[in-house]
Homo-oligomer: A and B are copies of this chain.
């Protein structure tokens, strides 16, 4: 817990924000002080609710002068605790959600940081364009939070993470200065790219107040297939073929284990598999093309050849949008389907695609060593090398006994990830949950450099001081 914020600072903040620009009402604050899965709870003396970039700057200047810490919070959908204050001033941009501009020649949308992702997707759609970042919490997750955590989700395979969508940023730096970097250029080589530092900084290098984001054309054809196969190695071979066959048009390539499919069918209503037979693994793939019929044709060619070569066991191509949704539900319900099975060790990791089979093999053995009989429900964005490595308790084991082994299991998984040159946080960030493990596993030279950068830009360490290094 940090030291209490002096009343004089609170008074200055209230004056700068004006009536309606702040709250200390426990009911108003309550939903912002608990992580949505209730893993972290926090406190704050004041919720700042600015409506302009200048007000954000005033808040940061006041806090910087007084050495008072700030926790910026977006839609409070984070999974690693980075958004929950422990006595810091809580800063929310929920009243800054304007779409400032959209230009179809620049293929750019300029939006304030408090806007929810879904509003950007909708604005793009209304203009005949596509914004490709998509994830389960898109109705709530804010643009500022998504940039600050470099969000992933579906669509990364073709379009990249949030980082790849950012053309420019407006931000308040830790000294309270407004940086207008709201460029909308595809090329700009005039020194270090400051925006790249703010992306994924989890609020430690400033407060993002607005962003210029890329837009894309809407595709004319789309195909979704569900494939049964024997091994993860077969899946990555199919992935390589699919990338070649679709020429970069592959939008999703998701791996699901047989256990994951079994749990979905058991625990979620109205789910059924599109193919019969016994398959140790399944792949859900989606591809899109600007050419009418081309997506379907590419998938048909890919699957016919893969069946002929015995690379896959069976496959179904969705014949309607409803069927495509039903295929996707099998993937999207993976987490929900685990819930009735008791506590689950969860790991959001990435390894090089070629090393996914080795990771699954080694991690599986390690998990059995930690707890004999564990049930591995791995799934994820395998096209990105990103596995959600979820592990359920051994049948019959008390839930508390499984939960008690969580940290030991995580350490074993992360050690294997590190040996395979992977990442212990593919898309969720470090927050306060994984910072220590990252510190243990990252090269010392890198941590030293990142700490020097942070100290240079925020010498008082006022910005989200408990997260990262």
Contacts and interface: CB of A to CB of B under 8 A. Distances in A.
A285 interface: no
Nearest to A438: B190
Given A192-B200, A294-B291, A350 B185 contact: yes
A337 B383 CA distance: 46
A301 B381 CA distance: 35
Nearest to A163: B193
A131 to B, nearest CB: 14
A190 B297 contact: no
A248 B215 CA distance: 11
A300 interface: no
A104 interface: yes
A264 to B, nearest CB: 24
Interface stretch (A60-68, A69-77, A216-224, A368-376): A216-224
A193 B196 contact: yes
Interface stretch (A11-19, A271-279, A323-331, A419-427): A419-427
B456 A103 contact: no
Contacts of A219: 247
Interface in A144-201: 149-150, 152, 156-157, 160-161, 163-164, 173, 177-194, 196-197, 199-201
Interface stretch (A27-35, A237-245, A392-400): A237-245
Given A179-B449, A192-B201, A453-B453, A243 B107 contact: yes
A205 interface: yes
Interface stretch (A84-92, A339-347, A440-448): A440-448
Interface of A: 103-108, 128, 149-150, 152, 156-157, 160-161, 163-164, 173, 177-194, 196-197, 199-201, 205, 216-220, 236-237, 239-240, 243-249, 288-291, 294, 297-298, 350-354, 381, 383-386, 421-430, 434, 438, 442-443, 445-446, 448-450, 452-457, 468-469
